[in-house]
Chains A and B, each alone.
Chain A
Amino acid sequence: MQVALFVPCYVDQLYPQVAMATLRLLERLGLEVVYPQNQTCCGQPMSNTGCWDDALPLAQRFLETFAQYEYVVAPSGSCVAMVRNHYDELLGGQPGFNELKNKTFELCEFLVDVLKINQLSGSFPHQVGLHQSCHGLRDLRMGSCSEIVGPRFSKPKQLLELLDDIQFSELQRDDDCCGFGGTFAVSEEAVSCMMGQDRIADHLQAGTQILTAADMSCLMHLQGIIRRENHPIKVMHIAEILAEAVEPGSMKSVAVTEAGKS
């Protein structure tokens, strides 16, 4: 099975270890993973600001870059939601677009729905607080949200639960938004930060040691607050947890290279 890695622009630039973890995890699961070099940004910041004209060339580039692959996988629910739920307005009717939409997956979805992973050998002896990123939750339906009446499930949690020795935080508000929201984080800075602080307070009361999510953008915002306020919570993308658990030590080299000064 051949998978093209779709690395969100800010992950490429700011969180290379997250993309690297995704790559290692997928390779470890026996997949042939390629990183198409023509990719840049899916255009979500533009469309979320209403600038659809500016998003169009990027959507076009995305289609041209990824159309040829069997699967497209990204460590981001938000960027996948852009492709699956919002590209229709830009690319609807173009050859290959429908196929692209149907073969583009967020990492956890891909592991659960396509690869049907139901066991992972690895241990993660920490208390993990799972932040349910909104676009993954409510646009991709990666889990049940608290508003909808129906069976409860969470694909990210389902994967984490496969790891030995892992514990989960019991939150007071399971799926309240962290307040990132793209440019919202800047244009509505006061509300955005209060939302983030409230999420972190919830994780602190629950005893979270490692805060994780399927979207690094939410974590970037939350980590920014955690670092500013010096809270004892470490932030890891879910790909990092999974990669580290199934292949202990594999992420250290990356993390050291990246955080340390050379």
Chain B
Amino acid sequence: MSSKDNILKAIRNQFVESVPLPSLDQDWIDYEDRVAHFAETLESVGGAAHVVQSMEQVQEILSQVPQYADAKKCVSTVSGISANVDLNTIGDPHELEDIDFAVLQGQFAVAENGAVWITDRDVKHRVIYFIPQYLAFVVHCPGDAASAIVSNMYQAYEQIKLTGEAEFGAFISGPSKTADIEQSLVIGAHGARSLHVFLVENQTP
């Protein structure tokens, strides 16, 4: 008998009373001002949120971010943001090791924890979310900024539609961090050292 059969048999031999699966649709927290709560929470985890009306404004703000302005190598997967490395021409992801700044698409944001949902659906190398020194996400909002922000994680998962094909997705909340040395918080462990999130209002993605 294979280990699989052995394990399944061992499990099925145990009598465990079955209990129903609870409903997830409960009275979860809803924030009156999702934009403010998101911005506040993101700030508390080391990131920064910006509500803007156009991609030009994103570019303008970025130009004043020293890490972007001084970046030698920059990747962007968002149209309207200038960059000097085209992800699609890179064959081996290891070549991305010296990317200084990346501006990437975020799908939507979560107020309760400051996270942005990202996927690698149209991104050739998923490591681009983790390897750059500094990072910015651009989230297109169909209406005002609140239209791209859900209050809680239940609503967040209701938004996620998987394709059924191989894919990667993540909630990313702020820049990479660690507190493994004496509980001292240090920003910039292995991933990005900073994270800007732009909520661009009235944009069709």
**Do A and B touch, yes or no (CB under 8 Å, in the complex)?**
no
